[in-house]
C-alpha cells in the first residue's frame, strides 16, 4: 500500500507538465464521453506553438475540444472523433474529422493500429484505490485497449468520478501509469435526458412498448425518445426486465428503482445492468458508484452481436434520420454533413435479430422541416447524394414513425415499399407511390393511403 502511494507521489505532476510528454507527430487519445480529460486538453492546446502534426482522437466530448479550436488548418493538431455530437458539430471549418467504425470494433482497431497509434493516452479516472488501481469511471469502451498500446499513460484523478464496477478491463494500475495529475473535485459534466420527448416521440414510444414482454432485455439509444419509453415502461406493468446496453442512462436507473428491472431472467450477466458507458444526471453517477447491480464492460463485449443474442427477447431501440423504400437506413450523415455516427446501432440491430424472440426498432419522425421552412419526408424513394447508409437493407427489423411500425425483415422490395409508404406522412404517400413506379418497384395494391 505504502509503495503504491510512494509511486503515486513520484509520478504526480501538474497538467502543464504532464502534456510535455507529447511530441510533434504523436498520436494522442482521450478518454471519452463524460470522462473526457478537459484540463489536459486545455493544457495540450496551450502548446500549439511548440507542436505540429499531432493527431488527437476522442468520442463525443461534452465540450468543444480545445485542440480543435486552436488551428482550423490542421497545422498543429488534427482532431478526430469516433462519434460526432453537438460540440463536434459546432467546430466550424472542418475542424473535426470523423472516424467511421462499428462501435464493437474499436478495441480491435486500436490494438491492431489500423487507424493511428496513440503514443500517449490522457484519461480522467477515479482516485487510486488501496490496490493501486485507477477506475476508468463512466466510460470503459476501449480505454484498456488504449493503455495496452500506449508508450505514456497520463491519468487525471477526479474525486467526483464514480467507481464503476466491472465486468472486466475497467481500470489501469499505477505501475503502468507514467504521469498523475490531481484534479481534486472537478465537477462531472452532466447530460440532461429528463425531458420527455415530443408528441411524435411519445407516439413512436407507444408503438415500441406495446411490442415488449415481461423478461425482455433492453438496449435504448439517446434522446427524448428514451425518456418517453422509460416512463411508459414504468407505467405499463411490465416486470422482470433486463438491461444489456451500450449507454447507461437515467431511464434505466428509474426503471431499476421502480422495481421494473431485475435481470433475473437474463442468460448472461444475470441480475446485472451491463453497459459500456454512461451519460446522464449527477444522480445517475451517484447510482453507479460502487454499485454491484451494474457491470461496465469494454465495447467489444457489450456490443458483440453474438453476445447480445445470448439474452432472450433482446430489444434494441435506436434513432434514424432517413429510410428509403429499399429499407436502407441513414442514421448519421445527410447533405455531406456528419451529424452523429454509426455507433452501436448495427451491432444491436443485428444482435437483437439473433436473439431468441428479439426485436430491433429504428425510429424516426415521418417529416423534417428545413431551414427555409419547407417540410420534407424522412421516408424517401432512394438515398440522396450526401446521405450515408448506416444500416444496409438486409439488417433492419421494425421501422417506426408516429404513423405506425412495420417489420421489413425478409420482405421483398415491393412488400417493404408498401409497408414503408404506409407509415410515411399522408401528405407524401402519393408521391412516394409514383416514385416507386418510376424506380420499377411494383406496388401491389392501392391500400396504402387507406392505412
Same structural domain for residues 154 and 225? no
Residue that has been written with the C-alpha cell 481500470 in this structure: 171
pLDDT of residue 72: 60
**Burial tier of 111 (Cβ tally within 10 Å: 0-12, 13-18, 19+):** middle
For 102-157, how does the pLDDT look when each residue is reduced to its tens digit (9 = 90+)? 999 999 999 998 877 789 999 999 999 999 999 999 999 999 999 999 999 999 99
Beta strand 329-330 with 398-401 is: unpaired
Cα–Cα distances in Å, from 11 out to 156, 174, 179, 182, 184?
12, 9, 5, 11, 16
CA angle 273, 302, 97 (to 5 degrees): 120
Residue that has been written with the C-alpha cell 448495427 in this structure: 346
Same structural domain for residues 232 and 140? no
Please indicate, yes or no, if residue 417 is contained in any of the structural domains.
yes
pTM over cut 0.85: yes
Q: Which helix (H) or strand (E) holds 243?
A: strand 242-244
Same structural domain for residues 86 and 176? yes
pLDDT of residue 197: 76
Residue that has been written with the C-alpha cell 500517449 in this structure: 120
| Cell triple for 188 | 462531472
Residue 275: how many other CB atoms lie within 10 Å: 28
Coil, helix or strand at residue 444: coil
**pLDDT range class, residue 446, cuts 50, 70, 90:** low
Average pLDDT over residues 22-39: 96
Query: Measured over all CA atoms, what is the biggest interatomic distance in the chain, rounded to whole angstroms?
Result: 79
pLDDT of 347 strictly over 90: yes
Please indicate, yes or no, if residue 15 is contained in any of the structural domains.
no
Coil, helix or strand at residue 12: strand
pLDDT of residue 1: 59
Among 246, 332, 402, 418, which one carries the catalytic annotation? 246
**pLDDT range class, residue 443, cuts 50, 70, 90:** low
Same structural domain for residues 166 and 220? no
pLDDT of 220 strictly over 50: yes
**Segment among 222-236, 269-283, 374-388 with least mean pLDDT:** 222-236
Q: Which residue has the higher pLDDT, 330 or 88?
A: 330
Average pLDDT over residues 2-12: 94
Please indicate, yes or no, if residue 241 is contained in any of the structural domains.
yes
Residue that finishes a domain, picked among 182, 211, 232: 182
- Measured distance CA(66)–CA(46) in Å, rounded: 9
Same structural domain for residues 116 and 203? no
Domain region containing 166:
21-182
Is-catalytic flag, 246? yes
Please indicate, yes or no, if residue 193 is contained in any of the structural domains.
no
pLDDT of residue 451: 46
pLDDT of residue 225: 86
Please indicate, yes or no, if residue 190 is contained in any of the structural domains.
no
In the chain, the number of structural domains is 2
Mean confidence (pLDDT) of the chain = 93
- Measured distance CA(209)–CA(251) in Å, rounded: 14
Same structural domain for residues 363 and 265? yes
Average pLDDT over residues 378-396: 97
Amino acid at each position: 500500500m505504502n509503495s503504491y502511494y510512494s509511486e503515486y507521489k513520484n509520478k504526480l505532476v501538474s497538467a502543464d507538465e504532464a502534456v510535455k510528454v507529447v511530441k510533434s507527430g504523436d498520436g494522442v487519445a482521450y478518454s471519452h464521453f463524460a470522462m473526457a480529460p478537459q484540463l489536459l486538453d486545455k493544457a495540450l492546446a496551450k502548446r500549439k506553438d511548440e507542436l505540429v502534426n499531432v493527431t488527437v482522437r476522442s468520442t463525443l466530448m461534452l465540450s468543444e475540444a480545445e485542440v480543435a479550436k486552436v488551428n482550423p488548418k490542421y497545422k498543429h493538431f488534427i482532431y478526430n472523433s469516433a462519434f460526432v455530437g453537438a460540440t463536434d458539430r459546432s467546430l466550424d471549418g472542418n475542424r473535426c474529422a470523423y472516424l467511421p467504425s462499428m462501435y464493437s470494433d474499436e478495441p480491435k482497431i486500436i490494438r491492431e493500429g489500423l487507424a493511428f497509434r496513440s503514443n500517449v493516452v490522457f484519461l480522467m479516472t477515479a482516485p487510486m484505490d488501496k490496490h493501486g488501481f485507477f477506475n476508468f469511471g463512466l466510460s470503459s469502451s476501449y480505454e484498456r485497449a488504449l493503455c495496452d498500446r500506449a508508450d505514456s499513460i497520463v491519468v487525471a484523478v477526479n474525486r467526483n468520478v464514480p467507481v464503476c464496477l466491472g465486468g472486466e478491463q475497467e481500470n489501469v494500475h499505477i505501475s503502468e501509469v507514467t504521469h498523475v495529475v490531481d484534479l481534486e473535485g472537478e465537477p462531472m459534466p452532466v447530460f440532461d435526458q429528463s425531458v420527455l420527448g415530443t408528441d411524435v416521440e411519445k407516439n413512436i414510444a407507444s408503438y415500441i412498448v406495446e411490442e415488449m414482454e415481461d423478461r425482455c432485455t433492453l438496449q435504448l439509444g439517446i434522446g427524448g425518445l428514451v425518456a418517453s419509453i422509460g416512463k411508459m415502461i414504468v407505467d405499463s406493468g411490465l416486470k422482470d426486465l433486463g438491461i444489456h446496453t451500450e449507454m447507461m442512462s437515467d431511464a434505466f436507473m428509474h426503471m431499476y428503482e421502480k422495481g421494473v428491472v431485475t435481470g433475473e431472467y437474463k442468460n448472461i450477466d444475470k441480475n446485472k445492468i451491463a453497459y459500456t458507458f454512461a451519460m446522464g444526471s449527477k444522480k445517475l453517477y451517484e447510482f453507479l458508484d460502487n454499485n454491484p447491480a451494474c457491470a461496465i464492460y469494454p465495447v467489444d463485449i457489450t456490443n458483440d452481436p453474438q453476445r447480445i443474442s445470448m439474452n432472450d427477447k433482446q430489444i434494441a431501440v435506436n434513432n434514424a434520420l432517413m429510410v428509403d423504400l429499399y429499407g436502407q437506413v441513414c442514421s448519421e450523415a445527410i447533405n455531406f454533413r456528419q451529424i452523429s455516427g454509426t455507433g452501436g446501432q448495427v451491432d444491436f440491430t443485428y444482435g437483437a435479430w439473433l436473439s431468441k424472440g428479439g426485436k430491433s426498432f429504428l425510429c424516426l419522425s415521418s417529416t423534417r422541416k428545413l431551414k427555409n421552412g419547407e417540410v420534407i419526408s424522412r421516408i424517401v424513394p432512394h438515398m440522396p447524394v450526401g446521405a450515408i447508409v448506416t444500416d444496409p437493407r438486409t439488417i433492419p427489423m421494425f421501422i417506426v414513425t408516429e404513423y405506425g411500425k412495420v417489420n421489413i425483415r425478409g420482405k421483398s422490395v415491393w412488400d417493404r415499399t408498401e409497408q414503408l409508404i404506409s407509415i410515411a406522412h399522408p401528405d407524401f404517400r402519393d408521391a412516394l407511390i409514383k416514385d416507386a413506379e418510376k424506380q420499377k418497384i411494383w406496388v401491389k395494391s392501392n391500400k396504402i393511403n387507406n392505412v
